[in-house]
Amino acid sequence: MKDSPYLPRLARIEEIRVETVGRRPIKTFRVSLKDGGTFTFAPGQCVMVSVMGVGEAIFAVSSPPKGDGYIEFSVMKLGRVTSALHRAEVGETLGIRGPYGRPFPVEEWRGRDLLIIGGGIGAAPLRSLIGYVLSHREEYGSLTVLYGARSSRDLCYREEMRAWAERNDVSLHLTIDRPEEGWDGLVGMVPDVLREMKPSPENTVAVTCGPPIMIKFVMEALADMGFPPEDIYTTLERRMKCGIGKCGRCNIGPLYVCKDGPVFSYAEILKVSRNAGGGGVL
């Protein structure tokens, strides 16, 4: 039982940050492991978080890997577990198991320009990725970030965004769906803004995460602009239970999102979709 993959490690909530306060609010939790050990993960991986007496839910790790005992994850309030997390307070104990899933292939991307495209809570794994790239800045080419939300109130990670905007080695573009008084950023849905930006596919890897419909239109837009499907990546979401490829809950065709993903290239998604007779994967 000691080495059971289902056994969570106990973690203390060290800090809770309110990211957004809309209809589906988002909070970021910073936790430390109570066993004093470290938590090793890579950008794009997830953790199963348990709230005692309530249940478990899976979240992308939203902080970059630092090799210390802290991790952060951001939670949109939706149902039982996420609502319990939103009621939790600093000092409370959670269970953490993982990390799970295939991370972004950051080593393969060395020397490439990166175009990172996020929407809403989809910024969570991208924040981990951007933090990683910034701490290995010399290994990558240009870094362009396009991030959108329904309104300015729904944009996550404002502090980080402000810091990225001030750097001369990050090109940050923020967009909201409709015009707002006082908003001096872009206006329009992420896929439309992306098409207007006309990024060059030359030596560029594009990474996107957000609502499924946004991911679909972003990947189609990138393909139309000449990005090869092998150079477009996303992370997919499916309802999950075990997180380790045992329960069969999270499959898309022959692939398990928890084990084979959540990171997939567009080429992989197109292949699964074609084998399923063109049925939608997103």
Q: Which stretch binds ligand FES (CB under 6 A): 27-35, 139-147, 221-229, 234-242?
A: 234-242
Tokens of 34: 């109570």
Q: How far apart are CA 104 and CA 244, in angstroms?
A: 18
The one-letter amino acid at 205: V
**Rounded CA gap, 169 and 280, in Å?**
37
Residue 241 makes contact with ligand FES by CB under 6 A: yes
Contacting range for ligand FES; rule: CB under 6 A; set: 113-121, 179-187, 214-222, 249-257: 249-257
- Quick note: the x/- pattern for ligand FES over 185-214, rule CB under 6 A, is ------------------------------
- Residue 253 binding ligand FES, by CB under 6 A: no
Of 160, 245, 270, 282, the one binding ligand FES (CB under 6 A) is: 245
Q: Are 178 and 189 in contact (CB under 8 A)?
A: no
Among 213, 247, 267, 276, binds ligand FES (CB under 6 A): 247
Q: Does 121 bind ligand FAD (CB under 6 A)?
A: yes
Nearest residue (beta carbon) to ligand FAD = 79
Tokens found for residue 52: 């005692």
Distances (CA, A) of 264 to 104, 105, 219, 234, 255: 8, 10, 12, 6, 10
Region of 34 (left: φ > 0; alpha: ψ -120 to 50; beta: rest) is alpha
Contact status: 112 vs ligand FES (CB under 6 A): no
Site residues for ligand FAD per CB under 6 A: 46, 55, 57-60, 73-76, 78-82, 121, 124, 237-240, 262
